[in-house]
Amino acid sequence: LQKPVVKAEPLDKCAVADSEQIQCGLPGISGAACDAINCCFKGQQCFYGRAVTVQCIRDGQFVVVVSRDVTLPRLSLDSVHLLGGNDPPCAPVGSTSSFAIYQFPVTACGTSVMEDSRSVVYENRMTSSYEVGIGPYGSITRDSHFEFLFQCRYSGTSVEALVVEVNSVPPPPPVAAPGPLRVELRLANGQCVTKGCADGDEAYTSYYSDADYPITKVLREPVYVEVHIMERTDPNIVLMLGRCWTTSTPSPLSLPQWDLRIDGCPYQDDSYLTTLVPVTGSSGLQFPTHYKRFVVKMFTFVDPASLAALKETIFIHCSTEVCHPSSGSCEQSCTRKRRDPPYQGRLWGADCGF
Residue-level pLDDT at 50:
93
Mean pLDDT by 10 residues, the chain (354 residues): 33 89 92 92 93 90 93 89 90 95 94 88 90 86 85 81 52 38 85 58 86 90 93 86 93 92 91 90 87 94 87 89 81 59 35 45
Residue-level pLDDT at 323:
86
Long-range pairs of 156-162 with CB within 8 A, sequence gap ≥ 24: 156/118, 156/119, 159/56, 159/57, 159/58, 160/56, 161/38, 161/54, 161/55, 161/56, 162/54
Cα–Cα distances in Å, from 311 out to 5, 86, 149, 314?
Answer: 17, 27, 19, 9
**183-323 topology per CATH:** Immunoglobulin-like (2.60.40)
Residue-level pLDDT at 297:
94
C-alpha dihedral, 300 to 295 to 70 to 141, nearest 10°? -30
Domain limits of the chain? 51-155, 183-323
Cis peptide before 266 (omega within 30 of 0): no
Amino acid at 174: P
Residue 193 half-sphere exposure, CB side, CA atoms within 13 Å? 8
- Statement: 51-155 belongs to CATH 3.40.640.10: no
- 51-155 against 183-323: fold identical: yes
Residue-level pLDDT at 194:
59
In the beta sheet, which residues pair with residue 224?
Answer: 188, 295
Residue-level pLDDT at 195:
58
